[in-house]
Structure 1
Amino acid sequence: MDKVRTGINGFDELVYGGIVRGNSVLIEGVPGAGKTTFGIEFVYRGITQFNEPGVIITCEELPESIYRDALNFGWNLQSLEKADKLRILCTSPEVLANAEINLVEEIVNEVGAKRIVFDSISHFRNIVDNPLALRKTVYSFCSGLRRLGLTSFLVKEREINRTLSRLAGLEYEEVLGRPLQDFLNGSRTGFSKLLQTLSTGKEFQDLKP
């Protein structure tokens, strides 16, 4: 099985060597849990450690804000853009959900991207309020990413209504709220219990901290 190493310190050990190539990974948590940072690091490490160009899509922040926040971790994203290893796209969920607009495909082909992070998939709820239509929209979007050969991290705000988290047929590993914050703070206790490969329906076995 071909796996993509994230390059995130300690994380690849928890998922037995990396993420299955071409899968879409849902990063879900409460505000401030570190979801966006986690996704950006996935793209950054891919470029700097594995020579895998990447794309960051955002519906919230302007590129300037992402540049500034990334520099706090020593990640110079602007230099990677100038080297044609990275593209940051600020757009709307309406554009992303429109199958006739190939904006993502154009950007992916422009840099030869292998990884992508989308912040956040929650915005699809703003344009689709029917649960079945929402499922179809997200499934179509993820299928498009797979067709482009991308391994993707999809950020989502934690909600009481877990509709997006129970999408049948999607393949992703799920990382939830507080455990993600614990992981980013250096604790692995209980983290692996919340990792689930939906493509096989099997849960990862517990790992000792």
Structure 2
Amino acid sequence: MSRPERLVFCDVDETLITCKSPFEFLRFYLEVRYGAEGARRAGELRERLVAETAAGVSREEANRVYYRAWRGEPAAEVEAWGRRWLSERLTDGNFFVAGTLVRLDRHRAEGAAVVLVSGSIPALLAPLAETVGARHVLCARMERCGRVFTGRLLGEPVIGEGKRTVVRQLLARYPDIDPADCFGYGDHISDLPMLMEVGHRVAVGEFSGLGQALADAERLAPATGR
């Protein structure tokens, strides 16, 4: 595989795709496996996490709680159904954020490597990366015990400062690439640490507060993004 000219880091939920994929997929999977009871469990978890986040629980802790819902589920089944979920969602003409997808295609045509950076579940991100031609996926790693998930993560959630960490680690693998030449796309204030590691920062959407946060940060940040 040829060495890329630059790296393009892209958040996934509501930046590249229009939905919050962890919750959508959890409901899809649990309903298939457990029927109405599974759908109820997924709905209750989503409501709980939305309420707790609004009350001040960090997005990182909410992400850990989300992954506990996968405890005891067979990894192979989750991965297979992840591909089926994506296959079904790709039939929806509104699944992708069109502007982001166009930009990523343009970056790849110009010799860049696209990198998906997300707190979403790996079972979805791997086939999504294949679909959009992403070279790398930076995401949570789910602990396994034998053939099933334990509900715990290996390492930190890839949210907020966790995104900064994994972006820096990947940049270190490409010492010939200047971070100032790289791009980042995000939609939420929690994407700011990732975006500040690169020279070209793009806020997707108008109502998240990320655009203003970027403007404030850029007044203080060095031009190299470091």
Q: TM-score, normalised by structure 1?
A: 0.32
Q: Which structure shows the higher strand fraction? A: 1
Q: TM-score, normalised by structure 2?
A: 0.30
Q: Which structure shows the higher helix fraction? A: 2
